C-alpha cells in the first residue's frame, strides 16, 4: 500500500489549485497560496515524509491525510488530480527538498561578507535610518557586493556538549537594495521580493554577542528594520549599545521555542513589541504577549504603528517632524504643507514640498478632505491630483 505522506505535498497542492508564492518560499520551505481565500501553507519535509503548517492557525498542520481531514477534502480526489498533472506535464517537478542543508555552511558564508558601509548604504538611507544611530552596528551589519544588507538568523539547535542546545546561526537573510519584480521567466510578480533567505529561517538578531548584563531593552518585531526603526524613533529610550534587536522575520510559531533561552538571560530587561498594524501583526502581538507572560511573568510594552509598520512610521517622522502621530496632527501637517506649497514661487521648493506630500500619502493616505484641498489648489497642469 502506498504511503501517501511520501508524496511531495507541495506538488499535490499545486495540482489541486494552489499557487506557489515564490516571494515567501525558500529551498526547504515552499509556500503555497489558496487563490480563493488567500490562505498560505508552508510545506516541510521530515525524513521521507512531507508535512505542512498554516502560520496563521496552529491547528491546521500535519501530513496530507491531516490536510484532507481539516479542509474537508476527498483525499482520493487530491491524489487523482496530482496523478493527472504528472501525466499531462512530465516536467511538473519543482526543485525543492533536493539537497540537505549544511548548517555550518551558512555560518561560514555569513562570515565572508564585508562589514556594512553604514554611511553610504543606499538601503539604509532609503529606509530613513540616521547614520549616527546606525554607526553602532558598523562592525555587526554586513553587506554583499550589491549593497544588500545581510542579517544573521539564529535558532535553538541541538549540540552534543549540551542537551538543552545552543542559539546558533542557522542561515541569513539578504535585505535587497533593489527588490526583485519579475520571476525567472520575466513575468511581473504579484508583490516585489524584498528579501532572500539562505539556510533555515530563524530569529534575526543584532547585538547577540553583547554581554547580557549590558542589555537593558529588547525590541521584537516582524522585520529587523522595524525593530531598528522603533529604536531610532525613541533613541532616548533605546540606546543601541544597550538594546537587543530581534525580528521574527514574518514567522513566529516555528521559532517560538528559540525565544525562551534568549530572553531567560535577560530577565531584568524591558521588552517592547512592535509588530505590524494589520490583522497578522495584531495576532503576533497577542501571541507574544501571552508567551512572555506565561514564561517570564511580565507584560511587554506594545508599540502600535500609526501606519503599516514601524519603518513606515520612521519615514513619516523624518518627513513631518511630528512628535506624536494621530489623525488630527497628520492631516493638519498635510494641509499646512499644502498652504506653503501654494505660497511658494521657487520651483525647487515647490518640488520638495510636492515630493514630501506624495511620499507621505504613499506611506499613510491622506483623508479625502485633505486630498481635495490639494486638488483644488492652482498648480501646473503637469502636477497630478491625488486620487480620491
What was the pLDDT predicted at 159?
Answer: 66
For 73-140, give the DSSP string.
Answer: --HHHHHHHHHHHHHH-TT-----S-S---HHHHHHHHHHSEEP-GGG-HHHHHTT--HHHHGGGTTT
C-alpha Rg value of the chain to the nearest Å: 24
Say if residues 255 and 278 touch (Cβ distance below 8 Å).
no
* pLDDT tens, position by position, 261-305: 999 999 889 999 999 999 999 999 999 999 999 999 999 999 999
In a domain, 330, yes or no: yes
**Residue 170, domain member (yes or no):** yes
Is residue 126 assigned to a domain? yes
Final residue of a domain: which of 256, 271, 302? 302
- Decide which of 88, 117, 138 is a domain's last residue: 88
Assess whether 78 and 114 both reside in one domain.
no
Q: Are 154 and 222 within one domain?
A: yes
Distance set, CA 143 to CA 110, 152, 199, 271 (Å):
10, 11, 17, 28
Q: Are 238 and 219 in contact (CB under 8 A)?
A: yes
Q: How far apart (Å, rounded) are the C-alpha atoms in residues 113 and 109?
A: 7
C-alpha cell, 78:
487530491
**Per 3-state DSSP, what percentage of the chain is helix, strand, and coil (rounded to 5)?**
40, 25, 35
pLDDT at 68: 94
Instruction: Report the length, in residues, of the chain.
Output: 388
- Tell me: do 47 and 165 sit in the same domain: no
Q: CA quadruple 103, 104, 110, 112: dihedral positive or negative?
A: negative
The answer to the question of residue 316 being in a domain is no
Domain for residue 319, yes or no?
no
Tell whether 191 and 261 lie within a shared domain. Answer: yes
Q: How far is CA 122 from CA 116, 146, 177, 228, in A?
A: 11, 10, 7, 16
Residues 6+ apart with CB under 8 A from 187: none
> How far apart are alpha carbons 384 and 94 in whole angstroms?
45
State whether 297 and 204 are in the same domain: yes
Same domain membership, residue 361 and residue 280: no
Residues 224 and 274 in one domain: yes
Report the pLDDT value the prediction gives residue 189, as an integer from 0 to 100.
79
Closest CA to 256 of 223, 282, 220, 228: 220
Structural domains in the chain (count): 3
Residue 388 has what pLDDT?
77
The per-residue pLDDT for 226 is: 98
Q: Are residues 110 and 84 in the same domain?
A: no
Nearest to 315 by CA among 355, 273, 348: 355
* CB 133, CB 235: distance < 8 Å: yes
In a domain, 311, yes or no: no
Long-range contacts of 336-345, Cβ-Cβ distance < 8 Å, separation of 24 or more: 338/370, 338/373, 338/374, 338/377, 341/377, 341/379, 342/377, 342/378
Name the pTM for this structure: 0.75
CA 243 to chain centre: 20
Q: Are 206 and 140 in contact (CB under 8 A)?
A: yes
Grid cell listed for 274? 512592535
Residue 159 burial by CB count (10 A; 0-12/13-18/19+): exposed, middle or buried? Answer: exposed
Angle of CA points 100, 104, 109, to nearest 5° = 105
| DSSP label at residue 387 | P
227 within a domain of the structure (yes/no): yes
Cα–Cα distance, 358 to 339 (Å, whole number) = 15
Cell numbers for 95, please give them.
Answer: 526543485
371 domain residue, yes or no: yes
Cα–Cα nearest to 94, from 10, 21, 188? 10
Does one domain contain both 134 and 224?
A: yes
Instruction: Dihedral sign for Cα 60, 165, 244, 196, please.
Output: negative
Residues 4 and 79: their CA atoms lie apart, in Å, by: 9
Distances from the Cα of 120 to the Cα of 131, 138, 247, angstroms: 9, 11, 24
Residue 91 has a pLDDT of 41
Interatomic CA distance for residues 254 and 237, integer angstroms: 30
| Domain membership of residue 215 as a residue range | 104-302
In this structure, the answer to whether residues 291 and 329 fall within a common structural domain is no
CA proximity to 9, closest of 30, 35, 27: 30
Question: Residues 291, 182: one domain?
Answer: yes
Q: In this structure, are 129 and 260 located in the same domain? A: yes
Q: Which residues of the chain have pLDDT under 70?
A: 1-2, 84-103, 159-164, 184-185, 250
Amino acid at each position: 500500500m502506498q504511503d501517501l505522506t511520501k508524496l511531495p505535498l507541495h506538488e499535490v497542492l499545486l495540482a489541486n489549485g494552489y499557487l506557489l508564492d515564490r516571494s515567501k518560499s525558500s529551498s526547504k520551505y515552499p509556500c503555497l497560496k489558496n487563490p480563493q481565500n488567500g490562505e498560505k501553507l508552508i510545506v516541510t519535509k521530515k525524513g521521507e515524509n512531507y508535512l505542512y503548517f498554516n502560520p496563521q492557525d496552529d491547528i491546521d498542520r500535519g501530513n496530507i491525510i491531516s490536510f484532507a481531514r481539516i479542509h474537508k477534502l476527498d483525499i482520493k480526489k487530491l491524489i487523482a488530480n496530482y496523478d493527472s498533472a504528472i501525466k499531462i506535464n512530465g516536467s511538473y517537478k519543482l526543485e525543492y527538498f533536493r539537497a540537505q542543508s549544511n548548517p555550518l555552511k551558512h555560518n561560514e558564508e555569513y562570515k565572508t561578507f564585508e562589514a556594512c558601509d553604514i554611511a553610504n548604504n543606499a538601503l539604509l538611507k532609503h529606509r530613513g535610518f540616521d547614520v549616527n544611530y546606525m554607526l553602532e552596528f558598523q562592525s555587526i551589519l554586513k553587506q554583499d557586493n550589491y549593497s544588500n544588507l545581510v542579517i544573521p538568523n539564529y535558532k535553538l539547535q541541538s549540540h552534543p556538549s549540551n542537551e538543552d542546545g545552543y542559539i546558533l546561526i542557522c542561515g541569513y537573510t539578504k535585505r535587497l537594495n533593489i527588490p526583485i519584480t519579475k520571476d525567472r521567466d520575466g513575468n511581473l510578480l504579484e508583490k516585489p521580493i524584498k528579501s532572500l533567505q539562505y539556510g533555515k529561517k530563524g530569529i534575526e538578531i543584532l547585538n547577540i554577542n553583547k554581554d547580557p548584563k549590558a542589555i537593558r531593552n529588547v525590541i521584537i518585531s516582524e522585520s529587523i528594520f522595524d525593530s531598528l526603526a522603533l529604536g531610532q524613533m525613541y533613541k532616548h529610550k533605546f540606546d543601541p549599545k544597550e538594546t537587543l534587536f530581534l525580528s521574527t522575520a514574518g514567522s513566529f510559531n516555528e521559532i517560538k521555542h528559540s525565544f525562551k533561552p534568549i530572553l531567560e538571560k535577560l530577565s531584568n530587561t524591558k521588552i517592547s513589541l512592535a509588530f505590524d498594524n494589520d490583522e497578522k501583526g495584531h495576532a503576533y502581538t497577542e501571541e507574544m504577549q501571552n508567551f512572555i507572560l506565561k514564561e517570564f511573568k511580565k507584560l511587554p510594552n506594545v508599540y502600535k504603528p500609526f501606519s503599516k509598520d514601524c519603518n513606515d512610521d520612521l519615514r513619516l517622522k523624518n518627513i513631518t517632524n511630528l512628535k506624536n502621530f494621530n489623525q488630527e496632527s497628520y492631516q493638519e501637517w498635510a494641509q499646512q504643507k499644502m498652504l506653503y506649497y501654494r505660497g511658494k514661487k521657487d520651483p525647487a521648493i515647490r518640488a520638495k514640498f510636492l515630493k514630501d506630500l506624495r511620499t507621505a500619502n504613499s506611506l499613510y493616505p491622506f483623508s479625502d478632505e485633505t486630498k481635495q484641498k490639494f486638488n483644488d489648489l492652482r498648480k501646473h497642469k503637469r502636477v497630478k491630483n491625488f486620487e480620491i
